[in-house]
Amino acid sequence: MNVKHLLALVAAVTCSNVAFACEGPFPLIGAQLHVSERSPERVETNVTNPLERALRTIPRLLGIDSATREGSVGLALRFEGGATSTDLALVRDRIGEMRFADGVDVTSTNVVFLQGCGQWWLLAPPSPRKLPPQRE
């Protein structure tokens, strides 16, 4: 995953579902799911992998970049010719239809265009995490 796609995934976390006054197509669709499972390995197995398989059946989809973390999955989806509002609706519907194994529940979902009207969305700073002490 390159830096541009990683920034797009972060943008998916920080953007809200808004209607744009400008017309597409947009470069990417971003999706962020927060789930009840905390283990990154179990999130990957029970959420990310099945979700990617289901999304790959959407017409015109060229590729998916994903990032799995503790309790969340971020996706950046690239479409042939750019993403449209129809693509956005298909992604939202497909995610909404998903049922995940082992009692994993989706606690929140956000699906957005990652670039609007030629400007990248401002990115919020990363959420605070405790880092291990650095050795001198």
Name the β-bridge partners of 60.
none
Q: Per DSSP, which regions of 26-88 are E strands?
A: 26-35, 61-69, 72-83
Domain with residue 58: its CATH number is 3.30.70.1430
Residue pair 9/78 in contact by the 8 Å Cβ criterion: no
For residues 114 and 118, give the distance between their C-alpha atoms in angstroms, rounded to a whole number. Answer: 10
Token pair, residue 24, equals: 């597409």
70 in a structural domain: yes
**pTM metric for this prediction:** 0.69
43 in a structural domain: yes
Q: What pLDDT, on the 0 to 100 scale, is given for residue 102?
A: 79
90 in a structural domain: yes
57 in a structural domain: yes
Q: Is 42 helix (H, G, I), strand (E, B) or coil?
A: helix
86 in a structural domain: yes
Q: What pLDDT, on the 0 to 100 scale, is given for residue 131?
A: 39
Q: What pLDDT, on the 0 to 100 scale, is given for residue 26?
A: 81
Residue-level pLDDT, tens digit, the chain, 136 residues: 554 545 445 454 444 444 444 556 788 999 999 999 999 999 999 999 999 999 999 999 999 999 999 999 999 999 999 999 999 999 999 999 999 987 899 999 999 998 744 433 333 333 333 334 445 4
Split into its structural domains, the chain has a count of: 1
102 in a structural domain: yes
Residue pair 29/113 in contact by the 8 Å Cβ criterion: yes
Q: What pLDDT, on the 0 to 100 scale, is given for residue 35?
A: 96
Q: What is the dihedral of CA 42, 46, 51, 57, to 10 degrees?
A: 130
Q: What pLDDT, on the 0 to 100 scale, is given for residue 74?
A: 95
Q: Provide Rg for the chain, Cα atoms.
A: 15
Q: Supply the range of the domain harboring residue 95.
A: 3-16+26-120
130 in a structural domain: no
115 in a structural domain: yes
